[in-house]
Amino acid sequence: MKINYHGTDTPSPEAIVKVREALFLLNGMNGFRTPFETWRNCEAQITFGNDAATTCIEIVPPATALIRRRGNWRNSRAIYCDGLFRANITNTEVELI
């Protein structure tokens, strides 16, 4: 999975720990699955904030997949929260694939 970093140049130690935990889960994965959707060839978007609470980790499918599916999708992102990746709309736990 491709990883993109954004945000502050000097993240806090808590933010670094949070990102390391998420990257450990993403090791060897390339997408995610919800009960009704499967997204492959995704990218991890990591945005560092001032602390762990403002640091955001998301799994985003490629733009071509969103265009191709148009209105047939609901959860187009997975967001890291409390040690799990959750779907952005339904807030259900996703399976990393």
Q: What is the mean pLDDT of residues 13-24?
A: 95
- In this predicted model, what pLDDT tens digit does every residue of 48-95 receive, in sequence order? 998 999 999 999 999 888 888 877 788 889 999 999 999 999 999 999
Tokens of 4: 């993109």
Which residues have C-beta within 8 Å of that of residue 76, sequence separation ≥ 6?
A: 39, 60, 61, 66, 88
Indicate if the alpha-carbon torsion angle 24, 25, 26, 28 is positive or negative. Answer: positive
pTM of the shown model:
0.90
Name the residue among 40, 34, 38 with its Cα closest to residue 2: 40
Predicted pLDDT at 90:
93
Sketch the domain layout of the chain as residue ranges: 2-96
Tokens of 9: 């140049």
